Amino acid sequence: MKTFYIETFGCQMNVHDSEKVIGTLLERGYSQTAEPADAELILYNTCSIRDKAEQKVFSRLQQFKKESGKGKVFGVLGCVAQQEGERIFDRAPHVSLVCGSASYNKLPELLVQIESGGRRVTGLSLDTEDTFETALTRRDNPHRAYITIIEGCDKSCAYCVVPFTRGPERSRTAESIFKEARELAQMGYTEIQLLGQNVNSYRDPSPDGMDFATLLRRVGEIDGLKRVRFTTSHPRDFVKEIIDAIDGNPVLCNHVHLPVQSGSDRVLSAMQRLYTHADYMRRIEWMKRSPRRIALSTDIIVGFPGETEQDFQQTMALVHEVGYDSMFSFKYSPRPNTAALGLEGTLDENEKGRRLAILQETQRSIQIRRNAELIGSREEVMVEGYNPGTAQWIGRTSQNRTLNFTDAAGRQFGPGQYLDVLVTRSGPNSLAGEAVN
Ligand code: 5AD
Ligand code: SF4
């Protein structure tokens, strides 16, 4: 029996890629282990978005180095694999397989080489045509499924490594997306998340060239689906029709993740984001005017080269102005190959840390306020599980908030079930409530 262990770092795209890799391995007769110690093949699906993420995989590889003599085979997949390529063999000589996400369709071939004792096997091409073999995907969650609609990224944000690790944009045909979504609905999945580095630039490669808003609308009409989400959006390609689609169909979740990165036009321009503060706010206005209460989340980078105190204050002003429901915020981290490496005005780590702390503290108080506004409202949740520690069920709302709840009638709920919950309390990161009969 051939055994493998896989650990995944990074974004939902990576999580979903791992589901495809797992399917491919199971198909080849491997079985998955929960512990690396029990596996013959140890895989890390890696992220290189910030230096910290990249370092994680090398420290993992170091940890298990002593095991390599005992016949274990190590493989590095994903973004660090693509970024570092064969250099990984120098940094961690016990690694045998290095494969980037654009080459996962070559994985069966690479595994054959590994199984016959191959050392230093690589899949690093970025120009593969057919990366969308989905039939083997082994989904982890029986209720919520990811579907990749577009791979890669054609933007060139000055800080970002993704165009180098995931290659140019490749949209999948709308027909194959609908087919997969319909099959998932028939299998009992009720929630679908459409994935891409920039879903808004989706364009069906077949002659009718369907755009993202139309695709979204059509996926929302598939029988059996109760929730459809999408991530990530780029403000430049985010059109009003997306909000119109959400307004028109409650299946499309009332949550939009729209990374802004900075509130300063000077910094946005240096980042090559292709929009201004005003362009961004126009999109926020569309959402605020929606009859549905659309939750808003974002990503922000502090300490980009040349960011002055005044630029940072403009980011803070934008954060107050928008009042995000949630936020991911980061200190700028220099990445290989990116344009920002050539910029002057590097900030020291302490100053980046100071700005990040101020931003996060402000966002925390905004979230306390935003969540408190929901007290007294009735929200539909999808049950995710039960927390014996707090004796509460865990639910998720359409707005993507965690809503923990109890039930006076003492009913039992299963993951994937939908019910209404009355919100009675709130905190910075979640809501609490009582199931409605
Ligand atoms: N440094 C810090 N944060 C980054 N991100 C992307 N690249 C970098 C970098 N070099 C952040 C952006 C992006 C999110 C996924 O990660 O905010 O939206
Ligand atoms: Fe990390 Fe970006 Fe790669 Fe996702 S696409 S794994 S966030 S580097």
> Chain centroid to CA 397: how far?
18
Q: Output the CA 400–ligand 2 centroid distance in Å.
A: 21
Which residues does ligand 1 sit against, CB inside 6 Å? Answer: 49-50, 159-160, 259, 261, 299, 301, 330, 332-333, 335
With the most atoms of ligand 2 within 8 angstroms of its CB, the residue from 79, 84, 170 to mutate is: 79
The residue whose C-alpha atom lies closest to atom 7 belonging to ligand 1 is 160
Domains of the chain: 3-123 (3.40.50.12160), 144-372 (3.80.30.20), 378-435 (2.40.50.140)
User: Dihedrals φ, ψ of 297, to 5°?
Assistant: -130, 165
Cβ contacts of 15 within 8 Å, gap of 6 or more: 8, 140, 146
With the most atoms of ligand 1 within 8 angstroms of its CB, the residue from 14, 330, 341 to mutate is: 330
With the most atoms of ligand 2 within 8 angstroms of its CB, the residue from 7, 9, 12, 14 to mutate is: 14
92 lines ligand 2 (CB under 6 A): no
The residue whose C-alpha atom lies closest to atom 7 belonging to ligand 2 is 11
The residue whose C-alpha atom lies closest to atom 5 belonging to ligand 2 is 162
> Chain centroid to CA 287: how far?
21
Measured from the Cα of 49, ligand 2's closest atom is: 8
48 lines ligand 2 (CB under 6 A): yes
Each residue's pLDDT tens digit in the chain (437 positions)? 699 999 999 999 999 999 999 999 999 999 999 999 999 999 999 999 999 999 999 999 988 776 655 789 999 999 999 999 999 999 999 999 999 999 998 998 999 999 998 889 999 998 766 555 567 899 989 999 999 999 999 999 999 999 999 999 999 999 999 999 999 999 999 999 999 999 999 999 999 899 999 999 999 999 999 999 999 999 999 999 999 999 999 999 999 999 999 999 999 999 999 999 999 999 999 999 999 999 999 999 999 999 999 999 999 999 999 999 999 999 999 999 999 999 999 999 999 999 999 999 999 999 999 999 999 999 999 999 999 999 999 999 999 999 999 999 999 999 999 999 999 999 999 999 999 98
* Number of other CB atoms surrounding residue 193 within 10 Å: 17
Q: Output the CA 270–ligand 2 centroid distance in Å.
A: 22
Task: Extract the runs of DSSP E, i.e. beta strands, from 340-408.
Answer: 378-387, 392-397, 402-406
With the most atoms of ligand 2 within 8 angstroms of its CB, the residue from 166, 234, 337 to mutate is: 166
> Chain centroid to CA 160: how far?
15
The residue whose C-alpha atom lies closest to atom 5 belonging to ligand 1 is 49
The helix (H) or strand (E) run that includes residue 21 is: helix 12-27
- Return the closest-CA partner of residue 106 out of 118, 98, 94: 98
> Distance (Å, rounded) from C-alpha 149 to C-alpha 155?
17
